[in-house]
Amino acid sequence: MDNNKFLKTILNGLFYENPTFVLMLGMCPTLAVTISFFNAIGMGLSTTIVLILSNLIISLLRKIIPDKVRIPSYIVIVASLVTVVQLLIQAYIPSLYKSLGIYIPLIVVNCIILGRAESFASKNNCINSIADGFGMGIGFTMAISLIAILREFIGNGSIFNIILIPNDYQIKIFSLAPGAFLVLGIIIAILNYKNNNKIKSDEFSCNNNCLNCSMNRITKGDE
């Protein structure tokens, strides 16, 4: 029974509640990092590692962190975690730091981290939280890699910086901001068309309990 939930949580993050195409979290890094396939994979994997660790830590502390100060607590935990990861990479894997250096601090403001901490890790045990971090992280990586392959190929005519299409036939707009929105929108439209009527409300991990949804509490204000 436990194994089932573990697997279900991973699949949830990969497909049914993919953070980019379904939950639409973390749009800023999605649009910025998907210009190149290599950058997208790097950013996705770094985010996955941070996501797994932050989910684990917050799940461990979920009984200790008081409800009223949970947001500042999550933020300070995630920010410290990312800074530690950045310092360690800068010191011991300098080649990785050179290619990914600027993206690592950006992971802190990636809404996926805070979103999953708030809606999953604070309410589930450690093992399942790790599964959720892994699923959401890899789901995020797959999503932005897909967008990046398309944007780099159509906009820059290259894959992994190897030019395949000559300069005259590259559609440069796909390497700029409007192109990001276009590719993202078209992919979501195709997915929604295929999934029409197939997603049932009880498949969402929050059980569609909107009245008691944690996101609702943030806007309503504390009682």
Partner 1 sequence: MKNNLLVIKDALILFIITTILGLLLSFTKIITDEPIKTAQINALNNSYRQVINDYSSSDDITRKVLDESITNSKVKLINCLKVYNANNETIGYITLVRINGYGGNIDVLTGFDLSENITGIEFPNDLSETPGIGMGITSNEFKNSFVGKNISNIKSVDTLTGATISSTAVKDAVSFSLDIVKNAIQID
Q: Which CB, 65 or 188, lies closer to partner 1?
A: 65
Least distance between partner 1 and beta carbon 76 (Å): 6
Is 87 a binding residue for partner 1 by CB under 8 A? The answer is: yes
Question: Are 48 and 172 in contact, with CB atoms under 8 Å apart?
Answer: no
Q: Which stretch binds partner 1 (CB under 8 A): 80-88, 132-140, 187-195, 206-214?
A: 80-88
Residue 108's Cβ-side half-sphere holds a number of Cα atoms within 13 Å equal to 17
Interacting residue with partner 1 among 7, 24, 60, 172 (CB under 8 A): 172
Supply 43's token pair.
């950013």
Is 60 a binding residue for partner 1 by CB under 8 A? The answer is: no
Question: How far is Cα 16 from Cα 14, in angstroms, rounded to an integer?
Answer: 7
Is 101 a binding residue for partner 1 by CB under 8 A? The answer is: yes
Question: How far is Cα 30 from Cα 208, in angstroms, rounded to an integer?
Answer: 26
Please provide the DSSP assignment of 43-106 as one string: HHHHHHHHHHHHHHHHHHTTTTS-GGGHHHHHHHHHHHHHHHHHHHHHHH-HHHHHHHTTTTGG
Is 73 a binding residue for partner 1 by CB under 8 A? The answer is: yes
Question: How far is Cα 79 from Cα 135, in angstroms, rounded to an integer?
Answer: 21
Is 171 a binding residue for partner 1 by CB under 8 A? The answer is: no
Residues near partner 1 (CB under 8 A), total: 31
The residues binding partner 1 (CB under 8 A) are 35-36, 61, 64-66, 68-69, 72-73, 76-77, 80, 83-84, 87-88, 90-92, 94, 97-98, 101-102, 155-156, 167, 172, 175-176
